[in-house]
Amino acid sequence: MSKKNTLRDQIEEAILSGKFSPGERLEEKVLAEQYGVSRTPVREALRQLHETGLVEVRERRGTVVRENSPTELVNMFEMMAGLEFLAVRLATRHMTEDDRARIQAAHEACRTARDIGTDAYYYENEAFHQALYRASGNPFLEQQATALHRRLQPYRRLQLRSINRVSQSFEEHEAIVAALFAGDAEGAGNAVWNHVAIQADNFRVLFPNG
């Protein structure tokens, strides 16, 4: 693989795992020495991280790890809810047999993971949502929704550690699946909206000053 891609993954991992804290300056020279490459691939990696929203690049003023204010996070979760709402509405119409099977399988995997632990559950949870996006039959939507979901992933985990809502989440999944498989577009849409939007509300609770 090219250096810029491995670099991107490494830096991304470092940010998500907290090695670089929000607001911290990322100097090209330092990173280059740290990873044993020149500034060129570092620059490209940072631009790619900018695309995904992890860092902020300011003209001639360097790159910093982006700090998302609680308000921004709420906004992003709100958009996430909108995308999922759209995806399941489309899915009730366009879903194939394969899509149905994938959703069912992912849902069952969540059921199993529920009793193992939160990390296991949230791993399967990602797969479940991915299956929903795919079932929309709209690859563009699928890609955008996946990107946003991934961007929000660390905050979902954060939430999780504060509020144990694994079993509640799973019940919400059940409601979504039931309505979806029954062809109830209205019900499925509302169920998934609530499932995602509640996370935005939780953030308002975690950061009341947001």
Partner DNA sequence: CGTCAATCCCTTGTATGCACGAGAAGCAGA
Partner DNA sequence: TCTGCTTCTCGTGCATACAAGGGATTGACG
Task: Pick what 16 binds: DNA, a copy of itself, none; C-beta below 5 to 8 Å, kind-dependent.
Answer: none
**Three-class SS of residue 65?**
strand
Per DSSP, 37 falls in state S
- Alpha-carbon span 80 to 150, nearest angstrom: 11
- Residue 26 gets which letter from DSSP? E
Q: Which of 76, 166, 177, 179 is in the footprint of a copy of itself by CB under 8 A? A: 76
Residues 6 or more apart whose Cβ sits within 8 Å of residue 200:
73, 74, 77, 78, 81
Tokens of residue 24, six digits:
């911290």
Q: Which stretch binds a copy of itself (CB under 8 A): 10-18, 39-47, 115-123, 166-174?
A: 39-47
28 contacts DNA (rule: CB under 7 A): yes
**Interface with DNA includes 161 (CB under 7 A)?**
no
Between 21 and 209, name the residue whose CB sits nearer to DNA.
Answer: 21
**Strand extents, DSSP E, 42-137:** 55-58, 62-65
Residue 40 binds DNA (CB under 7 A)? yes
Q: Tokens 């509300």 — which residue?
A: 201
Determine if 151 is a binding residue for a copy of itself (CB under 8 A).
no
Distance between CA atoms of residues 161 and 117, nearest Å: 11
CB of 49 to DNA, least distance (A): 13
Crossing angle between the packed helical segments 118-135 and 70-94, to the nearest 10 degrees: 50
Site string for DNA, 43-72 (x = CB under 7 A): xx------------x-xxxxx---------
How crowded is residue 52: how many other Cβ atoms within 10 Å of its Cβ? 14
29 near DNA (CB under 7 A): yes
Minimum CB separation from a copy of itself for residue 15, in Å? 19
Do the beta carbons of residue 16 and residue 57 sit within 8 Å? no
Which of a copy of itself, DNA, none is residue 79 near (CB under 5 to 8 Å by kind)? a copy of itself
Task: Please give the size of the binding site for a copy of itself, defined by CB under 8 A.
Answer: 23
Residue 37 sits in the site that holds DNA (CB under 7 A): yes
Which residues contact a copy of itself by CB under 8 A? Answer: 2, 43-44, 47-48, 51, 59-60, 72, 75-76, 78-79, 82-83, 85-86, 90, 138-141, 144
